[in-house]
Structure 1
Amino acid sequence: MRLLLSSCIEFLQERALHVILWNNRPSIDQHFGKPKEMERAMPSIEIQVLEGVFSAEEKGKIIQNVTKAFGEVAGQTIQNGTSVRLLEVSSGSWGYAGNILTTQDALEMRARD
């Protein structure tokens, strides 16, 4: 199971996505109430991408697929309480190994597929 989640993270990282997995963080449910089966704090997954690289539809698919992949490892109950946030970072505000990355760089990476 751990291999599936690792593969999912590698897949996202290869596509210019940055993934942070956090457990036991406050969720939006604390403000709106939550079902009884989600009494415990659920995992929160944060994905950072450069702005302008993914359409709204693609971002929705990323969120859905990451949630599903996490649920395949963690189980349906935890999947139902998993929070996924996709955050866009301004072009030129991201560095990797000392190199500044831009939206154009990420679009060029995507074009290689």
Structure 2
Amino acid sequence: MPFIDIKVIAGAFSDEEKQRLVESVSEAVIAIEGEGLRPVTHVVVTETPSGAWAIGGNAVTAEDVRAKRAAG
């Protein structure tokens, strides 16, 4: 019974993008684990408030994530 928790910074992804993440990750897991696990594959998107996530001691905001996505 796979359970996948995708953690993102609040405001960095639209509702449509989060839905695509859920669908894509679900399909990837099912492709590996088998179709029989589709009914019990759980995916959750957990949002952390902008600025409450840090990398190397530096707070990351939704604006930071959007800028990185736009750059690359």
TM-score range relative to shorter protein: over 0.9
State whether structure 2 residue 27 is matched by structure 1 residue 64. Answer: no
Output the TM-score relative to the length of structure 1: 0.61
Give runs of ≥4 in structure 1 deviating > 3 Å.
Answer: none
Consecutive unaligned residues in structure 2, runs of 5 or more: none
Alignment RMSD? 0.9
Q: Give the alignment partner of residue 104 of structure 1, picking from 41, 63, 66.
A: 63
**Cα distance in 2 between the residues matched to 1:97 and 1:67:** 30
**Cα distance in 2 between the residues matched to 1:55 and 1:103:** 11
Q: For residues 4-83 of structure 1, what are the structure 2 equivalents within 5 Å?
A: 42-83=1-42
- Counting matched residue pairs gives 72
Answer 1 or 2: which has greater strand percent: 2
Percentage identity across paired residues of the two chains: 36
Larger Rg: 1
1:105 is aligned with what amino acid?
Answer: D
Consecutive unaligned residues in structure 1, runs of 5 or more: 1-41
Larger RCO, structures 1/2 (Cα 8 Å, 6+ apart):
2
Q: Deviations over 1:25-78 (max 9, x none)?
A: xxxxxxxxxxxxxxxxx1110011011111111111100000000111111112
Secondary structure of 1:73's partner? helix
